[in-house]
């Protein structure tokens, strides 16, 4: 299968597909943190280079700061930067529609946010890291086109709940640092593996 992982610098999802024998490449404005097939550049320009239906699966991780509900105090209705949220939603919807043209199956990953309310993008299916073997909580939405919702592979919820809150919500409690945003946005290995295993055969 031909797989594109857009807005990914870590290579984690890309490499999960490659490990199963798929032809996968990542694309991001940043260079890849891991050696492997990677196009450094604009995702829209890269997609437009390919004919419609070229990719079997496209997974995108667009920037979410303006779209997630945690940003309502800054970008919500009546707030000074609300127009930035509207503009971001329109751009993301345009990318979604482009991906649906260029790929047969599409997944758009974002936190709990406003995409389904402000755009034609369908409601998200939500997953948690603890459903895939990680003893952590971080609710993640997957908006899907022609792909099945991810099925949990190894639920460790009961064991995780024995941990202190600041451990099981590690990403929320990360101290300020130059790479905090990169750590928070990297896909969990268990979720990446589930994507490759479950969507790699569709």
15-69 pLDDT, tens digit each = 999 999 999 999 999 999 999 999 999 999 999 999 999 999 999 999 888 888 8
User: Whose CA is closest to 48, among 100, 6, 102?
Assistant: 102
Burial of 51 (0-12, 13-18, 19+ CB in 10 A): exposed
Question: What is the pLDDT at residue 185?
Answer: 63
What is the average pLDDT score of the chain?
Answer: 92
Question: What is the pLDDT at residue 63?
Answer: 87
Question: What is the pLDDT at residue 178?
Answer: 60
Global model pTM greater than 0.95: no
User: Whose CA is closest to 120, among 139, 94, 99, 87?
Assistant: 94
Give all strands of the β-sheet with 125-127 in edge-to-edge order. 38-40, 23-28, 2-6, 55-60, 103-110, 140-145, 125-127
Question: What is the pLDDT at residue 177?
Answer: 58
Q: How confident is the model at residue 182 (pLDDT cuts 50, 70, 90)?
A: low
Q: How confident is the model at residue 202 (pLDDT cuts 50, 70, 90)?
A: low
Q: 165: how many CB neighbours lie within 10 A of its CB?
A: 11
Q: Using one digit for the tens of pLDDT, what is the confidence trace for 95-133?
A: 999 999 999 999 999 989 999 999 999 999 999 999 999
Q: 33: how many CB neighbours lie within 10 A of its CB?
A: 16
User: Whose CA is closest to 136, among 109, 170, 112, 159?
Assistant: 170
């Amino acid at each position: 299968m031909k797989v594109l992982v857009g807005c990914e610098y870590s290579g984690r999802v890309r490499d999960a597909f490659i490990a199963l024998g798929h032809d996968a490449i990542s694309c991001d404005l940043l260079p890849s943190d891991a050696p492997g097939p990677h196009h450094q550049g604009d995702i829209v320009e890269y997609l437009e280079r390919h004919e419609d239906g070229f990719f079997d699966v496209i997974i995108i991780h667009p920037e979410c700061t303006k779209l997630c509900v945690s940003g309502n105090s800054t970008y919500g209705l009546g707030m000074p930067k609300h127009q930035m949220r509207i503009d971001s939603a329109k751009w993301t919807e345009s990318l979604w529609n482009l991906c649906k043209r260029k790929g047969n199956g599409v997944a758009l990953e974002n936190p709990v946010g406003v995409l389904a309310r402000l755009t034609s993008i369908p409601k998200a299916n939500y997953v948690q890291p603890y459903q895939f073997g990680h003893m952590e909580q971080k609710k993640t939405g997957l908006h899907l086109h022609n792909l099945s919702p991810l099925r949990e592979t190894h639920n460790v919820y009961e064991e995780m709940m024995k941990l202190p809150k600041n451990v099981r919500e590690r990403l929320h409690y990360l101290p300020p640092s130059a790479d905090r945003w990169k750590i928070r946005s990297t896909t969990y290995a268990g979720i990446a593996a589930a994507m490759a295993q479950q969507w790699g055969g569709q």
